[in-house]
Chains A and B, each alone.
Chain A
Amino acid sequence: MKVRFDFVIHWLYAIIWALLGISGFAMVGAKYGWLLNFNYGTADYVHRLSAAAFVLITFISICYEVYRAIKRDDKHLAWFIFGRSGYQLFTFIVSLILIITGALIWICTELEMTVAGFALLVHEYISYIALASIIWHIYMKCHALIWPKKAEAKPNKTQGGGKDATKTMV
């Protein structure tokens, strides 16, 4: 079975975003700590490791897009995380902002407190916006949630008698 590159990248990105989301929101403040049972160490671990994976996957996607630009490949990749319009562009910008502010927070001991605070503020609010946009994305694409009708897989077991089942029976 052929699995497309952009498809794989999309779902890897989704998994990494989920990990980053749960661990990051658990670290936001004392009110949020219950999300990971106040286990700040684990949250920190998970957040840093998946941040590295996030940066890596962003880098690979940007390389792929640059490669496509050089090859003059204008085809619209429906599954890709970055693109030149719509939600893909939004993801691109948000990922860049999150990575840059996250890198600033990472070396916060070298910076002034004001810079680290600014980066932390931007990081937090952008992640709220990104979370809301994920729900919006799920709303737009929620036809993926519909369970496949198994009409051709098991012809003997036509439970319920849906439209497809009757069609196969006739």
Chain B
Amino acid sequence: MFDKKKLNFWRLTMIFISITVIVLFMLWSTPQAKTNGMMDSSMGNMMKSMHVSNIKIYDLLSSKGNQQQMDEMHKHHANQESIIYKLGFFTTALIFLLLPLIIAGSILLAIVWIK
């Protein structure tokens, strides 16, 4: 197991495991401040408990948005003409133009690669 080639890996693992254990020990041994119950989870878990726990497959297929409401809410944001806006535009356009190509290409590759 402790092969000579893997020595560097085990060294790094040991260092980082010890760091983790020491940090966790110190964190748990300090007197704790008052914790917040709801935020005691990741965003995904929070979403799961709030929204996903009773999801049906139908919800994935229907995507009616509450567009007017969002439009009004963000109207005052709209005149943010800056580098941020341009970057946001550029990245969004890039991602959503390439996404269909990526999906189609991966389907093609899946068909070609399957034994």
Chains A and B share a contact (CB less than 8 Å): yes
A residues within 8 Å of B by Cβ? 27-32, 48-49, 51-52, 55-56, 58-59, 62-63, 65-66, 69, 82, 84, 92, 96, 99-100, 103, 106, 109-118, 120-121, 123-125, 138-139, 142-143, 145-146
Interface size on B, residues (CB 8 A): 46
B contact residues around A48 at 8 Å (CB): 87-88, 91
Q: What residues of A have a CB within 8 angstroms of the CB of B42 in the complex?
A: 28-29, 31-32, 124
**B15 part of interface (Cβ distance < 8 Å):** no
CA distance A108 to B98 in the complex (A): 18
Chain A residue nearest to B16 in the complex (CB): A135
| A-B contacts besides A112-B65, A118-B51, 5 pairs, CB < 8 Å | A55-B94, A62-B109, A106-B95, A124-B42, A138-B9
Report the Cα distance A52→B94, complex, angstroms: 7
**Complex CA distance for A15 and B47, rounded to whole angstroms:** 29
Asked if A106 contacts B92 (CB within 8 A), the reply is yes
Tell whether, in the assembled complex, residue A142 and residue B94 are in contact, meaning their CB atoms are under 8 Å apart.
Answer: no
**Majority secondary structure of chain B interface residues (helix, strand, loop or mixed):** helix
Residue of A nearest to B42 (CB): A29
B28 to chain A, nearest CB (A): 13
A111 touches B63 (CB 8 A): yes
Give bound CA distance, A82 to B59, whole Å.
32
CB distance from A135 to the nearest CB of B (A): 8
CB within 8 Å of A: which B1-53 residues: 5-6, 8-9, 36, 39-48, 50-52
Are B95 and A55 in touch, CB under 8 angstroms? Answer: yes
CB of A98, distance to nearest CB on chain B (Å): 12
Which 5 pairs between the two chains have the least Cβ-Cβ distance? A117-B47, A124-B44, A117-B51, A62-B105, A52-B91
- Among A111, A112, A116, A125, chain B packs the most CB atoms within 10 A around the CB of A112
A residues near B91, Cβ cutoff 8 Å: 48-49, 51-52
Are the C-beta atoms of B99 and A99 separated by less than 8 Å? yes
Residue from the list B6, B48, B95, B112 in contact with A142, Cβ < 8 A: B6
**Is A59 a contact of B102 with CB atoms below 8 Å?**
yes
From B70, B88, B105, name the one whose CB has the most chain A CB atoms within 10 angstroms. Answer: B105
Give 16 A-B contacts (CB < 8 Å), ordered by A residue.
Answer: A29-B46, A55-B95, A55-B98, A56-B94, A59-B105, A62-B101, A99-B102, A100-B103, A110-B67, A111-B65, A114-B55, A115-B63, A120-B43, A121-B45, A124-B42, A125-B44
